[in-house]
Structure 1
Amino acid sequence: MNPVSDDAWSPWRPSELASRLKHASGLWYVVGGWALDLWHGRQTREHEDLEFAILPESVPEFREILKELDFFTVHAGVIEYLEPGRSPPPHVSQLWGLDSGTARWRVDMMLERGTPSTWIYKRDTSIQAPRSEIIRISDTGIPYMAPAAVLLFKAKYLRDKDEADFALALPRLDPAERETLRLWLELVHPNHQWLAAL
Structure 2
Amino acid sequence: MSPDLDAWDPWTPWVIADRLAGLDVPWYVAGGWAIDLFRGEQTREHEDVEIAVPADRFDDVADRFPDCDFYIAGDGKAVSLSPEALATYHQTWAWQRGAGVWRFDVFREPYDGATWICRRNWQIRRPYAEIIRYSSDGIPYLCPEVVLLFKAKTDRDKDRIDFEGTVPLLTSDERRWLKDALDVVHPEHPWLARL
Specify if TM > 0.5.
yes
Separation of aligned partners in 2, 1:128 and 1:142: 22
User: Which segments of 5 or more consecutive residues in structure 2 lack a partner in the other structure?
Assistant: none
Superimposed CA distance per residue, residues 54-78 of structure 1 (whole angstroms, 9 cap, x where no aligned partner): 1122122111111111111112222
CA RMSD across the alignment: 1.5
Q: Secondary structure of the residue that 1:185 maps to in structure 2?
A: helix
- What residue is the counterpart of 2:164 in the other structure? 167
The structure carrying a bigger helix percent of its residues is 2
Identity rate, percent: 42
Task: Give yes or no for contact 2:26–2:128 (8 Å, CA) kept in 1.
Answer: no
Structure 1-normalised TM-score? 0.94
Superimposed CA distance per residue, residues 74-99 of structure 1 (whole angstroms, 9 cap, x where no aligned partner): 1222211238xx79632221110001
TM-aligned CA deviation for residue 42 of structure 1? 0.5
Separation of aligned partners in 1, 2:112 and 2:131: 12
Q: Secondary structure of the residue that 1:48 maps to in structure 2?
A: coil
Q: Secondary structure of the residue that 1:60 maps to in structure 2?
A: helix
Separation of aligned partners in 1, 2:182 and 2:126: 15
Structure 2-normalised TM-score? 0.95
**187-196 vs 103-112, which deviates more?**
187-196
Separation of aligned partners in 1, 2:140 and 2:134: 4
- What residue is the counterpart of 1:152 in the other structure? 149
Task: Give yes or no for contact 2:9–2:48 (8 Å, CA) kept in 1.
Answer: yes
2:46 equivalent to 1:47? yes
Separation of aligned partners in 2, 1:160 and 1:100: 32
Separation of aligned partners in 2, 1:190 and 1:23: 40
Aligned partner letter, 2:107 = M
TM-aligned CA deviation for residue 25 of structure 1? 1.7
Aligned length: 195
Task: Give yes or no for contact 1:3–1:79 (8 Å, CA) kept in 2.
Answer: yes
User: Which segments of 5 or more consecutive residues in structure 1 lack a partner in the other structure?
Assistant: none
Aligned partner letter, 2:126 = A
- What residue is the counterpart of 1:89 in the other structure? 86
Stretches of 4+ aligned residues off by more than 3 angstroms: none
- What residue is the counterpart of 2:109 in the other structure? 112
- What residue is the counterpart of 1:25 in the other structure? 24
TM-aligned CA deviation for residue 3 of structure 1? 2.4
